[in-house]
Structure 1
């Protein structure tokens, strides 16, 4: 579905980002990886046969534009941008100080804005009718109490997606967002372990969290990303699609009564 396309995926040294990169390669794309850890990024690139990669911390004020320029230089074009990089430290109200807010928003919201701005300019210059896929979260709708600032950052990303899509539709550049539910990534496994959960925690979740008997896998989310990145989803733009297993909002409220 992505034959001949160049796809740049931020935060792609592990988890959903790396799964998306693997799926993109399988679907004929030229992939450019990104990550902040040199060792993890090089290992991820090697696992895909040595694909190009760009290292950089998106929290730095000038990082996004430099990273975008480096990505463009690899093949001389970028057809698809996947804004996947994000952090989600536990920040209830009491821990939501200015430092936490600034870092979370810098990576989760500011960097997608600045990467999109630069790569849209590139697409216009090259006449590319590109696709931008923003990876959001179902927490954008309200979120868990201990994910206050993270949830805010994904809510802002949702507004950004719709706003930019509205402005670019006439140029054939599409912008959509996937609000992803609970996914079994390496980071999530580490988080649950740090909270004292047993190694098999994912096998005994309440039905409200896992109606199919389990949570999402990164590869399943990646399949959705590929569809929205590809021309198969054209001309749809400005949409927020929930990658989840529920037919209602407010799961976190419901979970308190089960």
Structure 2
């Protein structure tokens, strides 16, 4: 449909999982896309895939836990293409920790990846948009667990709840600049990262997806491509004037009780 024709889109954490799905969807909708990631292999492989399909894409090596690298990634995109129109913050750390066993180092790691990185990536992107007096859109991938979450997600929830507040604060601050900033609280999703998490922290076997699906209302986990379509919609003009919205993209209903 060309929802993102001629747009320059940066997807942080875009080399795999939800981020990679967003990159594919954005290219399909006409965007020039850059993806960041710590490891070159998956990032370069994705760029090769997108380029082979006729898209324009590049890989930017960056560790979003480092604020300077987060800003530098935006700067590289602006230097390459002259501007940034859309930003998606999809990088995330999901290692486990409770209130009682989380160390200061683990807490800091979650804040760095899940909150600090998005903050400074947004800072750099919004600065470019404001300097050009141009509109833009940002989507932050958050989590339905930010409403409270499981006990073993304490530092993750703390950081992601902060990202909800940041999303709304930045949207309010820059609404007169015509920069729209929204977030998605995504539910349980079948990604490579989730597979590794389930195996590493919960001793899951090869059938964990089937077992999880049996406990979910729709009988399956969410899919990255479904989230990607929603993100593209929010990045595009088709989503109208909406800003400062944090949408629960989940099959469980907050506050609903059986």
**What is the TM-score normalised by the length of structure 1?**
0.93
Deviation at 1:46, TM superposition (A): 1.3
Does structure 1 retain, via aligned residues, the 8 Å contact 2:97–2:155?
yes
Structure 1: which 5+ runs fail to align? Answer: none
1:165 to 171, 186, 189: 171
Equivalent-residue separation in structure 1 for 2:152 and 2:256 (angstroms): 15
Matched, 1:76 2:74: no
Deviation at 1:206, TM superposition (A): 6.4
Please give the residue correspondences for 1:84-233 in structure 2 after superposition, counting only pairs within 5 Å. 84-194=90-200, 195-205=202-212, 209-233=215-239
Aligned residue pair count? 251
Deviation at 1:133, TM superposition (A): 0.4
1:237 to 235, 239, 243: 243
Does structure 1 retain, via aligned residues, the 8 Å contact 2:74–2:84?
no
Equivalent-residue separation in structure 2 for 1:61 and 1:128 (angstroms): 24
Does structure 1 retain, via aligned residues, the 8 Å contact 2:133–2:177?
no
Give the RMSD, CA atoms, in angstroms.
1.6
Equivalent-residue separation in structure 1 for 2:208 and 2:24 (angstroms): 27
1:62 match: secondary structure: helix
1:23 to 15, 22, 25: 25
Does structure 2 retain, via aligned residues, the 8 Å contact 1:52–1:74?
no
More divergent stretch after superposition (43-52 vs 6-15): 43-52
Does structure 1 retain, via aligned residues, the 8 Å contact 2:94–2:197?
no
Instruction: Name the CA shift for 1:250/1:199 in 2 (closer, same or farther; >3 Å).
Output: farther
**What is the TM-score normalised by the length of structure 2?**
0.93
1:72 match: secondary structure: helix
Deviation at 1:196, TM superposition (A): 2.5
Equivalent-residue separation in structure 2 for 1:76 and 1:148 (angstroms): 40
Structure 2: which 5+ runs fail to align? Answer: none
Name the residue aligned to 1:4.
Answer: 6
Deviation at 1:65, TM superposition (A): 1.5
Deviations 1:145-169 (A, max 9, x none): 1110001111000001111111111
Please give the residue correspondences for 1:241-252 in structure 2 after superposition, counting only pairs within 5 Å. 241-249=247-255
Does structure 2 retain, via aligned residues, the 8 Å contact 1:136–1:157?
yes
Deviation at 1:25, TM superposition (A): 0.7
